[in-house]
Structure 1
Amino acid sequence: MGCAASMYRVGGNKKPMNIPLVTIFTPSLRIPIDSSFQKPLKGLVPNGLIDRLTYSRNQVALLTNQTDVSGVPELLRVLEDYLSLLVGLTDQELGFRELVEFKWRSLDDGRQEICVADSWFELLSVVHMMAMLTLIQANSKLIPDQTDTSETVESTDKIRCAVDLLVKAAGYLHFCLREILVKLPQDIKMELPLDLQENVIEAAYIQALGQGTEMQLASAVESKNATLSVKRRLACEQLSYFSQAHCCLSTCDNLNGCGKKHLSFLKWKYLEAKAAAYYYHGLITDKGTEPSCHISAVCCFLAAEEILTESKKACLNFCLTVPITRAPVAWGAMKHLNKKIPEIAARKSQMYAYLLEEEKSLEVLPELPEFELSLKAEEYEMADKDGAWDSENWKIPNQTLKMHLTDDEEDD
C-alpha cells in the first residue's frame, strides 16, 4: 500500500496478482518493527505498563502483516489503544521522552528503516499511519471488488462514505502538522524520511480535501438538483486544493520514486479539475447576451478541451511512474466531461465562428472565479493518557544502581 495504494494486503507480505487500481491515492505507508521498552524503562515504569506497551505495539506490527483492507478498522482501533499508552511517554514531567528507540520500516522500500529515540516521533508515525490506512479505506470504498478492476462504483452512499473517510484522514494529517511536528527538535526533523516531512504531510492533507471535493462534484453531476453554479464552484475549489497540494510537494528536494509518483498524481488531478472548471465556467458565461460572453465561453470550452487532453497524458504518466498502478475507468464528473467537453467545444466554435472572426480582440481566456474552500478536515482529538500513567498508583520495587547495571549486563 502507500505508493502501492491499492494492494490487497496492508503489510504487503504477498505481492498482488494484479496491478493495483487507484481512485484515491495513498502517498506512503510505514509500519513499526521491533523496538524494546523493557530495557530502557525497567525500574522506572511498572512492569505491567511496560508489558502493555510492548504487547500493544507488537499487535500493530502483527495486524499490519496479516490483515487485508477489510481488517483496517480493527488495525485503527489497535493504533488508538496504543496511542493512549504512548502519550504517557511524551509527558515532560515524567521525563521518559528520549529513553526508547522507535524503529519503523517503509513498505515502499523494505530496506528503508529509521530509528529515533523520541516518543514524539513515535506519535507522529502512528497518527500518520492512521491517516494512510484511512485513505486506503476510502480507496476501497470506490473499488469494492478487487478481483474485477474494471468495475467502478458511483452510488451516492459509496461516495458519501469516501468523503467522510477523506476528511477524517485530513484530520489526522492536520493533527500531525499542528500538534506533533512542532514538538520535534530541528535536528530530528532534518533526519525524517521524506513522507514524514512537513511539506509532504501538508500536500497529503490538502490532497485528501481535494479528493473529497472531487467526490462531491461527482455527486453533483449525478444530481438533478445541483445547479451549474454549484458544479462550477466545486470544480474551482477542487482546482485550488490540487494546485496548493502540488505547490507544497514540488518544493521538496530529492523526491524519491514514491514522491515522484505522488507529484504526478497531483498534476493529473489538477489538470482534470482545471478542465472541469473552465467547462462549467464556459456554460455559465455563455448564458450572457453580449457577443463578448459567447466569445469568452468558446475560449473556455477550447481551453477545457486542450487541458483535458493534457490530463489524459498526465494520467498515463502517473500510472507508468514506478510503482506501476492503474487508474479506474473514467467515472463521476470525468465520465461525463470526457464526452461533453469535446462536443461542446466543437459545437460552440462552429456556432460562434462569425463572432470569433469579427471580434478577435476579445479572444482572451477569462480568469476563473475564486471561492472560499468549503470542505474542512474532521478535527482529530487524541485519546487521553491511559490511567496507568498516574504515578501515584505506581509500585516500583526499590532497585539500587548496582542491581540496575547488573540487569543491563544480563540483557546484553
Structure 2
Amino acid sequence: MGCAASVYQVGKKKKKKGIIPEVSIFVPSMRVPAQCDLQRTLKGLIPKDLADKLTFIRNQILLIAQDTDVSAIDELQKALEEYLSLLVGLTRKEFGIQELTGFKWKNLEDGQEETSVANSWFELLSVLHMMAMLTLVEANMKLIPKDIAMTERAVSGDCMRDTVDLLLKASGYLDFCVQDVLVHLPPDIKNKLPKDLHQGILEATSNQALAQGTEIQLGLALESQNATLSVKRRLACEAVSYYAQTLCFLSGDNNFHGTAKKHLLFIKWKYLEAKAAAYYYHGIIIDKGTEPSCHVSAVCCFLAAEELLTESKKASLSFCLAEPVTRTPPAWGVMKHLNKKVPETAAKKSQMYGYLLDQEKDLRVLPDLPEFQLSLKPEDYTLPEADSTWDIPGQSLKEHLKDGEETD
C-alpha cells in the first residue's frame, strides 16, 4: 500500500485494495513508532514503574497505529497525550538521561526503513509531529463524505469551521516543534533527522495548514450575506501569501521525490487556485471605479484569473498522477463558484470593454494584488506537565534509584 493510502487510511476501516484516496487536506507524511526495548535501555536509569509505564503506552500507540477502527484517531491522540506527560520527564536536564536511550520511528512511505536516535527530544519531536499529522488526517476526513462517489459536493458550515479549528491545531503543533523542540537538538542530530522533520518541511506544513484554513474561511464568507467583497478579496489575497510562503519553505530542500514531490505539486496547485480567486475579487472591486483605466485593469484581472484557473486544473492533474496516486474531490465552495463565474465574467467584461482595450493599450497591465497582514496564526500549544510519577521529593533521581535497588 502506498504512502497516501496508508496515511489517509489511519483511523478508517480497511478498504478494498485499488481504492484511490481522496485528498482535500494534504498530509505530507505519517511517522509511527517502531518497536524498541525501552525497558531494557532504561533499566537503572529511571524507576522501574516509570520505565514500565513508558514502555506500555508507547507499545499501545504502536498497536493502535496499526488499528483500522474508525475511532483509532481519537484513541491515538489520547495515548500520545498521555505518553507526552511521561516523556517530558526524560527531557529534563537535571536527570541527565536525555541521550541515554534510543528511540525508533518509521515512515509509512518507507515501509520498514527505521530511524533510531538516542535523544529524548527527538522522541518528543516525533510524537508532536504524529499528533499534527493525525490532526490533518482528521481535517481531511471532515471534508470527505462517507459516500465519495457523490458527483455533487456540499460541505456544511459547521464542518468547515471544525476543519479550520483542526488546521490551526495542527499548525500549532508544528510551530511548537520549530520554535521549542528543534532548538534542543544538537547540530549532528539535526543533520541526521528524516526529511519530514527538517525545519523547512515543518514550517511549510504549518503554513500550508494556515493557507488551507484561510481558503476554507473564504468559502464560509462566500455563504455569508454579511461578508463584503473586500473581505473576500482580503481572504483570497491572504491565502496567496500563505501558499507563497509555503513554496518558499519547500524550495529550501532540493530533494523532491515521492511524497516530497507530491507535497510541492499540491502547494503549486493550491497557489494557482488562490491566485485565481484573488485576481477575480480584485477585478470586481477595481471594476467599480469610473475611470477607463479601472475597467481595463479589471478585465486584465479577470483574464488572468481565467488563465490561472486553467493552469490550476493542469496542476491538479499533475498532483493526482504523481506517486502515490490520489484523487481530488469534486469542486465545492469557492472553487465551484469560481469555475462558473470566472469564465463568464472574463467573457462578459472583455466584450463590454473591448473598445477600451483597443484604445488604451498602454493600460493593459495586470495590477499587483494588494498585500494584507495575515490573520490566521498557529494555535498556541504548550507541553503538558510532567506526570506525577516523576515527582521524587527531596531526592535526586540517582538517589531514588539507589534506594530502589536496596529495597529489591
Segments of 5+ residues of structure 2 without an aligned counterpart are none
- 76-85 or 40-49, larger mean C-alpha shift: 40-49
1:396 maps to a residue whose letter is L
**What SS is found at the alignment partner of 2:98?**
coil
How far off is 1:355 after superposition? 0.6
How far off is 1:382 after superposition? 1.1
Q: How many residues were matched structurally?
A: 401
- 277-286 or 218-227, larger mean C-alpha shift: 218-227
Task: Pick closer, same or farther for the CA change 1:122–1:13 going to 2, 3 Å.
Answer: farther
Distance of 1:5 and 1:243 partners within structure 2: 28
Alignment-derived partner of residue 194 in structure 2: 193
Alignment-derived partner of residue 73 in structure 2: 72
Matches within 5 A, 1:314-333: 314-333=315-334
Contact 1:149–1:328 (8 Å) recurs in 2: no
Contact 1:143–1:153 (8 Å) recurs in 2: no
- 190-199 or 12-21, larger mean C-alpha shift: 12-21
Segments of 5+ residues of structure 1 without an aligned counterpart are 404-412
Distance of 2:304 and 2:195 partners within structure 1: 35
Distance of 1:28 and 1:306 partners within structure 2: 32
- 92-101 or 10-19, larger mean C-alpha shift: 10-19
Contact 1:167–1:209 (8 Å) recurs in 2: yes
- Seq. identity, %: 59
Report the RMSD for the aligned CA atoms in angstroms: 2.0
Matches within 5 A, 1:5-24: 7-10=8-11, 16-24=17-25
Cα displacement string for residues 144-183 of structure 1 (whole angstroms, at most 9, x for unaligned residues): 3165464634210000000000000000000000000111
Alignment-derived partner of residue 90 in structure 1: 91
How far off is 1:387 after superposition? 1.3
Structure 1 length-normalised TM: 0.93
Structure 2 length-normalised TM: 0.94
Matches within 5 A, 1:141-290: 141-145=142-146, 148=149, 150=151, 152-290=153-291
How far off is 1:12 after superposition? 10
Contact 1:145–1:151 (8 Å) recurs in 2: no
Distance of 1:332 and 1:59 partners within structure 2: 39
1:296 aligns to 2:301 (yes or no) = no
**What SS is found at the alignment partner of 1:391?**
coil
Cα displacement string for residues 37-96 of structure 1 (whole angstroms, at most 9, x for unaligned residues): 222221232111110000010011011001445321221011000000011111000011
Distance of 1:226 and 1:311 partners within structure 2: 26
Cα displacement string for residues 284-339 of structure 1 (whole angstroms, at most 9, x for unaligned residues): 00000000000000000001001110000000000001000000001110000001
How far off is 1:3 after superposition? 3.6
Distance of 2:211 and 2:31 partners within structure 1: 23
Contact 1:21–1:328 (8 Å) recurs in 2: yes
1:33 maps to a residue whose letter is A
Task: Pick closer, same or farther for the CA change 1:222–1:14 going to 2, 3 Å.
Answer: closer
**What SS is found at the alignment partner of 1:104?**
strand
Task: Pick closer, same or farther for the CA change 1:237–1:188 going to 2, 3 Å.
Answer: same
How far off is 1:391 after superposition? 2.8
1:373 aligns to 2:370 (yes or no) = no
Matches within 5 A, 1:342-361: 342-361=343-362
**What SS is found at the alignment partner of 1:93?**
helix
Contact 1:8–1:146 (8 Å) recurs in 2: no
Alignment-derived partner of residue 401 in structure 2: 396
Distance of 2:7 and 2:340 partners within structure 1: 28
Task: Pick closer, same or farther for the CA change 1:10–1:16 going to 2, 3 Å.
Answer: farther
Alignment-derived partner of residue 310 in structure 1: 311
Distance of 1:283 and 1:50 partners within structure 2: 63
**What SS is found at the alignment partner of 1:105?**
strand
- 140-149 or 39-48, larger mean C-alpha shift: 140-149
Alignment-derived partner of residue 409 in structure 1: none
Distance of 1:186 and 1:357 partners within structure 2: 61
Distance of 1:77 and 1:133 partners within structure 2: 12
Distance of 1:69 and 1:184 partners within structure 2: 35
Distance of 1:142 and 1:190 partners within structure 2: 36
Cα displacement string for residues 338-384 of structure 1 (whole angstroms, at most 9, x for unaligned residues): 01100100010000011111110110100000000001111011111
Task: Pick closer, same or farther for the CA change 1:149–1:173 going to 2, 3 Å.
Answer: farther
How far off is 1:15 after superposition? 6.5
How far off is 1:253 after superposition? 2.3
2:93 maps to a residue whose letter is Q
2:315 maps to a residue whose letter is A
Alignment-derived partner of residue 410 in structure 1: none
Contact 2:65–2:72 (8 Å) recurs in 1: no
How far off is 1:223 after superposition? 1.6
Task: Pick closer, same or farther for the CA change 1:188–1:110 going to 2, 3 Å.
Answer: same
Cα displacement string for residues 247-275 of structure 1 (whole angstroms, at most 9, x for unaligned residues): 11022021221000000000000000000
Task: Pick closer, same or farther for the CA change 1:380–1:149 going to 2, 3 Å.
Answer: farther
Task: Pick closer, same or farther for the CA change 1:38–1:6 going to 2, 3 Å.
Answer: closer
1:56 aligns to 2:61 (yes or no) = no
Distance of 2:16 and 2:385 partners within structure 1: 38
Task: Pick closer, same or farther for the CA change 1:373–1:5 going to 2, 3 Å.
Answer: farther
Alignment-derived partner of residue 46 in structure 1: 47
1:34 maps to a residue whose letter is Q
**What SS is found at the alignment partner of 1:199?**
helix
Task: Pick closer, same or farther for the CA change 1:7–1:33 going to 2, 3 Å.
Answer: same
Task: Pick closer, same or farther for the CA change 1:359–1:347 going to 2, 3 Å.
Answer: same
**What SS is found at the alignment partner of 1:396?**
helix
Distance of 1:152 and 1:188 partners within structure 2: 45
**What SS is found at the alignment partner of 2:116?**
strand
Task: Pick closer, same or farther for the CA change 1:242–1:182 going to 2, 3 Å.
Answer: same
